[in-house]
Structure 1
Amino acid sequence: MQYVDVASRLLLLTVFVLALASKVSSRRAWSEFVQSIKAMAVIDKARAPAAATATAVAEAGVIVLAAVPLRWAGSASFALAAGLLGCLTVAVVMVVRRGAAVPCRCFGASRTPLSMAHVARNGILIAVALIGLAASLVNGTFDPAIGAIVGVFGAVLGLLMARWDDLVSLLRTT
């Protein structure tokens, strides 16, 4: 199960590094993220800056905890990721149910409106976090070479998850 822990950590670490970087890379990126929260209209617009800050802090927490090679840190990272993703998923569902065409700002500038595809992506990430949490609680042996391989595998899957909109568009029929 240690390999599942490593792959899950690296997948989520990659996803959250890219997500956070897209939000804090510039003042414009941050402003666009805050505006997207306002456009979602799931909280009072005056609270959007606080919600954006809370999201960024939680994403940073996942990153830091996932990077610490201790079992408790991995468990905490997985729990924080699952909680954050759960909150974000509820917000996306609310937007989709209203039929609002709000762009997904999860990984930077995007014109793709939030949809059930984003709910599916978040569901997959929540499952990864919960499976990783379970794996982090189990003792076992660990071979660093195999750990490196599964870590790279997890990171590559994380990159694919960050490009979810592109993957979905490839599968859509016109």
Structure 2
Amino acid sequence: MEYVLIACRCTLALIFLYSASTKLRGPSAFVAFTASLRRLRLLPERLVAPAAVVVVAAELLVPALLASRMTALPGFLAGAALLTAFTAGIILVLQRGTTASCRCFGASDAPLGWQHVVRNCGLLALAVLGLVSVAAADQNAAPAGVALSVGVALVLAFIAATMDDLVTLFR
């Protein structure tokens, strides 16, 4: 289970770090993210800007917690909580019929869709698998296994981060 734990930690850390970094590339990126939150109409206007700050801070907290095996448990819990909130928000937006672009990973103009729910549920499953793995892992890992786990994490993170492009490509 140690390799599963490593793969889950790395995948989620990469996803949340990448997501936060795309929102912090510059003032215009953060303004665009805040505007996208406003268009979702999930929060009162006065809470949109503070929520944008909280989202980015939380997205930065998750990889910081997942960086250490000792804090992996709260890292997975925080990641799972964020992914649950994001998924619930997306479902609510889709049910309302609101058309808004997904700014999950920066400047995408792709409208929110069920593929975002599927992606988040997959990431949520990784967080739950990570939670289970924390208790079952034995902390004995060979370098080759660690390298393979990190490689798998890179592939999973790439697929999750480019899902909009992949869906468009295969449609």
Match of 1:162 in 2: 161
Whether the 8 Å CA contact 1:10–1:152 is kept in 2: the answer is: no
Match of 1:83 in 2: 81
Superposed displacement of residue 159, structure 1: 1.4
Question: Percent identity, aligned pairs only?
Answer: 33
Matched, 1:36 2:31: no
Q: What is the aligned-residue RMSD (CA, Å)?
A: 1.0
Separation in structure 1 between the aligned mates of residue 73 and residue 143 of structure 2, nearest angstrom: 20
Q: What TM-score do you get using the length of structure 2 for normalisation?
A: 0.95
Q: Which residue of the other structure, out of 86, 103, 106, is the alignment partner of 1:105?
A: 103
State which drifts further: 152-161 or 122-131.
152-161
Superposed displacement of residue 145, structure 1: 2.3
Whether the 8 Å CA contact 1:62–1:77 is kept in 2: the answer is: yes
Whether the 8 Å CA contact 2:10–2:150 is kept in 1: the answer is: yes
| Structure 1 unmatched ranges of 5 or more | none
Match of 2:141 in 1: 142
User: Which residue identity does 2:126 align to in structure 1?
Assistant: V
Match of 1:124 in 2: 122
Whether the 8 Å CA contact 2:5–2:137 is kept in 1: the answer is: no
Match of 1:6 in 2: 6
Superposed displacement of residue 171, structure 1: 2.5
Please state whether the residue corresponding to 1:137 is helix, strand or coil.
helix
Written as runs of structure 1 = structure 2, the 5 A alignment for 1:21-100 is: 21-68=21-68, 70=69, 72-100=70-98
Superposed displacement of residue 115, structure 1: 0.8
Separation in structure 2 between the aligned mates of residue 38 and residue 19 of structure 1, nearest angstrom: 18
User: Which residue identity does 2:145 align to in structure 1?
Assistant: I
Superposed displacement of residue 32, structure 1: 0.5
Superposed displacement of residue 132, structure 1: 0.8
Q: Could you list the per-position Cα deviations for residues 83-113 of structure 1 after superposition, in whole angstroms to 9, with x for gaps in the alignment?
A: 0010011111111111111000000011110
Following TM superposition, the consecutive aligned residue runs of length 4 or more in structure 1 with deviations greater than 4 angstroms are none
| Structure 2 unmatched ranges of 5 or more | none
User: Which residue identity does 1:90 align to in structure 2?
Assistant: A
Q: What TM-score do you get using the length of structure 1 for normalisation?
A: 0.94
Separation in structure 2 between the aligned mates of residue 50 and residue 130 of structure 1, nearest angstrom: 28
Match of 2:170 in 1: 171
User: Which residue identity does 2:168 align to in structure 1?
Assistant: S
Superposed displacement of residue 20, structure 1: 0.5
